[in-house]
Amino acid sequence: MDFNKYYEDRQKLVNTFLEKRLEKKGISRVDEAMAYSLLAGGKRIRPIILMATADALGVSGYNFLPVACGLEMIHTYSLIHDDLPCMDDDEYRRGRLTNHKVFGEALALLAGDALLTLAFEVMLEQKNVPAEVLVETVREVAMCAGNFGMVGGQVIDLDSEGRQISEEELRKLHAGKTGALFIAAVRSGARLSGAASDELLALTKFADLLGLAFQITDDILDVEGDAAQMGKAAHSDEKKHKSTYVTLYTLEGAKALAQKTVDEALGCLEMFGENAEALREITKMMCGRKS
């Protein structure tokens, strides 16, 4: 397969959907702040993973664009809030000033809130899916985004600053903060495609390992990465005295763990044969990235 073309086609599809959806304006200037972050580029990894999961099951991922793009809105909201001074206090995201640096903290906070709520509105616009399947999918996305997943992980992250935590605590932190939305993306694509129970089980394990590998790679990039390539500051974890897979395992140990985790994730896709080639390539891309 021509993976670059596959990825670029779906990235353009997601961008077009998001642009068109934001043409429907609300009643205030929060729309400008929402668009600033949502349309700032980005890899669109999570929606493309959802579509690639459907492809792995022999169903066109193009069918599920509203749910896929809802995930991107949730991800973008989380970045806006994560960058706030009360959280990670970052000045740059995707190569330009963070939302609160442009619009102020109050409007940035509300832009994140608006994107989160819009995400569920958009996901529920999904057509040609049995109502009970769509409701269960959206319910699970909500759980992954909330106190059992991303938000819960962010709180553990805040509570862990300035102290060394155990590997178990670190795994729990990132399984929520980072991994939960990957699980949401994969399981949503699987549910919407009518996956059998054994397929859903294998894909869930794949998603869990993918999220772990992604985070280990992120920790490595915080040490080795180039700020210009990443579009955000490097060495931020060290400055904030955060525990990472590098501090637990050393840089070389983290690299070995990342490769081991990638190999295990790829092993979960064997049962899907050639249909899962895009998921395999996405895994390699995410864990071999420079930004």
Hey, is 130 helix, strand or coil? coil
The angle at the Cα of 140, spanning 287 to 215, to the nearest 5 degrees, equals: 20
Higher pLDDT, 231 or 212: 212
Least confident of 46-50, 59-63, 85-89, 222-226: 222-226
When divided into structural domains, the chain yields a total of: 1
CATH of the domain at 107: 1.10.600.10
Q: What is the pLDDT of residues 76-93, one digit of tens each?
A: 999 999 999 999 899 999
pTM: 0.93
Hey, is 87 helix, strand or coil? coil
Instruction: Please give the pLDDT value at position 230.
Output: 45
Least confident of 108-112, 162-166, 209-213, 273-277: 162-166
Q: Phi then psi for 74, rounded to 5 degrees?
A: -65, -45
Q: Which amino acid appears at position 268 of this protein?
A: C
CB distance 170 to 248 below 8 Å: yes
Instruction: Out of 29-38, 159-168, 214-223, 279-288, give the one with best mean pLDDT.
Output: 29-38
Instruction: Using the predicted structure, report yes or no on whether residue 94 has a pLDDT greater than 80.
Output: yes
In angstroms, the CA 73 to CA 99 distance is 14
In angstroms, the CA 252 to CA 165 distance is 20
Neighbours of 91 (CB within 10 A): 13
CB distance 120 to 138 below 8 Å: yes
Neighbours of 200 (CB within 10 A): 17
Instruction: Please give the pLDDT value at position 135.
Output: 98
Q: What is the pLDDT of residues 218-238, one digit of tens each?
A: 999 989 866 555 454 555 666
Hey, is 93 helix, strand or coil? strand
Instruction: Please give the pLDDT value at position 259.
Output: 94
Token output for 120: 């569920």
In angstroms, the CA 173 to CA 160 distance is 9
Q: Which domain holds residue 192?
A: 3-287
Instruction: Please give the pLDDT value at position 287.
Output: 86
Instruction: Please give the pLDDT value at position 254.
Output: 94
Scanning the structure block, which residue is given the tokens 């899916």?
129
Residues 6+ apart with CB under 8 A from 226: 234, 290
Instruction: Please give the pLDDT value at position 229.
Output: 54
In angstroms, the CA 262 to CA 69 distance is 26
What percent of the chain is modeled with pLDDT above 70? 94
Scanning the structure block, which residue is given the tokens 């068109």?
20
- Residues counted in the chain: 291
